[in-house]
Structure 1
Amino acid sequence: MVTGGKCLQKFMEMASTNCTQLKQSYWILIFGGIHFLLPQLPNFNSVAGVSLAAAAVMSLSYSTIAWVGCVARGQIDNVSYAYKKTSSADYMFYVFNALGQISFAFAGHAVPMWKGALGAYFINAICYFLVALIGYWAFGQDVDGNVLMNLKKPVYAIPVFDLLETMMVKKMNFPPGIALYSLLDLLIITLFIGVTFPFFGDLLGFFGGFGFAPTSYFLPSIMWLVIKKPKRFSASQMDHQLVVYVLQSCIFVGVFIMLASTIGGFRNIIADASTYSFYT
């Protein structure tokens, strides 16, 4: 919601300089309003074409435009790669927030399509690393969380919505229909959060830790250990024991990422909100 609204705003500011400029909140509302059309599709399979266009084609195009634009723009004058002058506490929370952003970017591998997940992550890594490295080369410490904003002014939620819809229809006896689709998509809540806290990097860090780290980094490991109930193994079963150690390490690292990134993102949202005029 936030990214789409900001990009719409930037596009219109560049394409139509003589028109009255709308504030960012309105652009987020306009972008969010488009999403109300998607829940009216009859079923989850009918969203496949939208998902392909949005998640695959648009994501690749977006990242390619970002790094190619940075190369074409070149380095800004007096580019600096030094750390921004701030307190040690700020450094720590920035690192925590960055962990959440990484979790957000590479979440979702609990989906049971191993080869597809590997292929997706390979492409994902190329896109992200090119944007990150070239964007930092061009703008240094002044790079924006959304690098396209420096050039002169992901649909992942759809499976979650489908899961909620299935649960409410089968277990809570909700009749399927337009009202249910609109309710399940939680568009109003998502849109409200986007308009209220349009802090791109902070939101990625917070939701990456709070929402994606558990389901991607340690809950699957806990589930495996609970289901298999592994005991101590003999020397001939050392490979199995190694798997247990790896899963235990994943749990430890995953819990740390969840706590650190959630705290870091939440703290940065509060810090940015202290200098932000809401609903302007």
Structure 2
Amino acid sequence: MLAVAPNSVTESTTGKEDAVLHPPKELDAGALFVLKSRGSWVHCGYHLTTSIVAPSLLSLPFAVGLQGWVGGVVCLILAGLVTFYSYNLLSMVLEHHAQLGQRQLRFRDMARDILGPRWGKYVVGPLQFGICYGAVIAGVLLGGQCLKFIYLLSNPNGTMKLYEFTIIFGVLMLFLAQIPSFHSLRHLNLVSLFLALAYSACVTAGSIYIGFSKNAPNRDYSVNGSQENRVFGAVNAVSIIVTTYACGIVPEIQATIAPPVKGKMFKGLCVCYAVIFTTFFSVAISGYWAFGNQAMGTILANFMGNQKPLLPTWFLLMTNVFTVIQVSAVTVVYLQPTNEVFEKLFADPNQDQFSNRNVVPRLFFRSISVIVGTLFAAMLPFFGDIMAILGAFGFIPLDLIFPMVFYNVTFKPSKRSLVFWVNTLIAAASSVLSAVGAVASVRQTVLDAKTYRLFANI
């Protein structure tokens, strides 16, 4: 499903991406140093894939279990189609403004230029900053969980706690956080793409092996719980699935593309979604088929079994190594909006990026950012709940509501046109979903908070 951008650029500028209809704005240090526009559409595909195809996809069997076969698979398909359409709309709006000589490099820039300065400063900016930093916290937590799995495989009676592994992973992120720009991550994100394919293949193969083994767990595909819990569970599942498809940094990724940008983002999205449909559906369907409604928040926990691992140790070790390396790449990608804000506030654009004047504050503030995120991850080991909250409060508005509004305001399609009503319907439905999802996710977090304590070893 693609929207076609109206021909809103005059003939004298059509096809001339860099035609300056408005004076170009002087770049601040955040845009100049972190969001360097030097990449190709291939690099864009790497960045998009890493930002979306993350270890959060390992929670998809759990989400499908909250809805059942029909609801879960339909939700997976619809979320994929709608998010691809939404990201394509964002790309066309960005390309339109670039043709006018007003290239927007950040989500808050789009909101400011299209909806007004208050929207960018007080709504979209803080919202994006919050969800990206929340994704960093979730990434550090998942990295710690993977390290703990690896530890228990080699030392089943080990006494180290989850928060200790979370801190170890946080130390790794201290080093990766110093990578200077988003564009500098292109090679790391290429490796990340292959790692995502690798651990998804491992999880799929492991689920099929367990499902056909003589010790296969009893499978129940019914949706458990009271009517109230089923409703809230289904809404919570939608939030998890939408968050798994979510990106939240499409403008920043498109900012890394060297001009002219026209058509490049669409190619990058095609690369990304080819990987998405390969990994998401294979993991979700095989994991739910193997474990039914007993699928846990991350399917790797099911592989560990109740008393002993259900798969060979070497296989589980390999899967977790692939996962922990890839989650480090995902985490550093979602650090970029935070890094960009720090560069804008504390770096000097008139001096070299690697001068002492700019290196010292960069090292200090990025390190503080990782340390604080690691502390929160160690304190709050509720990975599934974090995913649901991020989806309801942040990713749904950024990825499913604002793109529709931006497109309709920018191109002003006729109110009789299909694209206007499709966009309006998606925005309205997503608003309802965000509100209900927020209630459901907070409710589930409150329930889990009665079970877990700070720095819990789960």
State TM-score, norm by structure 2.
0.54
- Are 1:26 and 2:164 counterparts? yes
Number of residue pairs matched by the alignment: 269
1:174-208 C-alpha deviation (Å, 9 max, x unpaired): 45334335535732333233222222222111112
Match of 2:351 in 1: none
Aligned counterparts of 1:143 and 1:271: Cα–Cα separation in 2 = 19
Residue 167 to residue 50, structure 1, CA distance change in 2 (3 Å): same
Match of 1:144 in 2: 296
Match of 1:189 in 2: 372
- Are 1:179 and 2:179 counterparts? no
Residue 137 to residue 29, structure 1, CA distance change in 2 (3 Å): same
Match of 1:65 in 2: 202
Tell me if structure 2 keeps the 8 A contact 1:6–1:24: yes
- Are 1:210 and 2:384 counterparts? no
Superposed displacement of residue 144, structure 1? 1.2
- Please identify runs of 4+ aligned residues in structure 1 that moved more than 4 A: 109-112, 153-160
Tell me if structure 1 keeps the 8 A contact 2:219–2:290: yes
Tell me if structure 2 keeps the 8 A contact 1:70–1:135: yes
- Are 1:114 and 2:251 counterparts? no
Match of 2:226 in 1: 87
Opposite residue 215 of structure 1, the aligned amino acid is L
Superposed displacement of residue 231, structure 1? 5.2
- Are 1:276 and 2:458 counterparts? no
Superposed displacement of residue 272, structure 1? 0.9
- Are 1:244 and 2:420 counterparts? yes
1:62-92 C-alpha deviation (Å, 9 max, x unpaired): 21111111111225343222222x2222222
Aligned counterparts of 1:25 and 1:157: Cα–Cα separation in 2 = 17
Tell me if structure 1 keeps the 8 A contact 2:393–2:438: yes
Which among 86, 93, 96 is matched to residue 235 of structure 2? 96
Aligned counterparts of 2:237 and 2:181: Cα–Cα separation in 1 = 36
Opposite residue 423 of structure 2, the aligned amino acid is L
Tell me if structure 2 keeps the 8 A contact 1:209–1:259: yes
- Are 1:258 and 2:434 counterparts? yes
Residue 161 to residue 79, structure 1, CA distance change in 2 (3 Å): closer
Residue 182 to residue 120, structure 1, CA distance change in 2 (3 Å): farther
Aligned counterparts of 2:205 and 2:292: Cα–Cα separation in 1 = 16
Residue 182 to residue 74, structure 1, CA distance change in 2 (3 Å): farther
Residue 43 to residue 115, structure 1, CA distance change in 2 (3 Å): closer
Aligned counterparts of 1:268 and 1:122: Cα–Cα separation in 2 = 33
Opposite residue 197 of structure 2, the aligned amino acid is L
Structure 2 gaps of 5+ residues are 1-139, 255-264, 310-326, 349-357
Aligned counterparts of 2:373 and 2:398: Cα–Cα separation in 1 = 20
- RMSD value over aligned CA atoms? 2.4
Of residues 27-36 and 152-161 in structure 1, the stretch that sits farther from structure 2 once superposed is 152-161
* SS state at 1:40 partner: coil
Opposite residue 282 of structure 2, the aligned amino acid is L
Aligned counterparts of 1:103 and 1:181: Cα–Cα separation in 2 = 34
Of residues 117-126 and 132-141 in structure 1, the stretch that sits farther from structure 2 once superposed is 117-126
Tell me if structure 1 keeps the 8 A contact 2:141–2:381: yes
Aligned counterparts of 2:407 and 2:363: Cα–Cα separation in 1 = 33
Tell me if structure 2 keeps the 8 A contact 1:96–1:263: no
Superposed displacement of residue 26, structure 1? 1.3
Aligned pairs (5 A) from 1:132-171? 132-152=284-304, 153=309, 155-156=329-330, 158=332, 161-170=335-344
* SS state at 1:177 partner: helix
Structure 1 gaps of 5+ residues are 233-237
Superposed displacement of residue 260, structure 1? 2.4
Residue 45 to residue 116, structure 1, CA distance change in 2 (3 Å): closer
Tell me if structure 2 keeps the 8 A contact 1:5–1:30: yes
Of residues 188-197 and 246-255 in structure 1, the stretch that sits farther from structure 2 once superposed is 188-197
Superposed displacement of residue 163, structure 1? 3.8
Opposite residue 385 of structure 2, the aligned amino acid is D
Residue 98 to residue 10, structure 1, CA distance change in 2 (3 Å): same
Residue 226 to residue 275, structure 1, CA distance change in 2 (3 Å): same
Aligned counterparts of 2:217 and 2:191: Cα–Cα separation in 1 = 37
Superposed displacement of residue 17, structure 1? 3.5
Opposite residue 103 of structure 1, the aligned amino acid is V
Superposed displacement of residue 252, structure 1? 0.8
Aligned counterparts of 2:375 and 2:388: Cα–Cα separation in 1 = 18
State TM-score, norm by structure 1.
0.85
- Are 1:36 and 2:169 counterparts? no
Aligned-residue identity in percent:
25
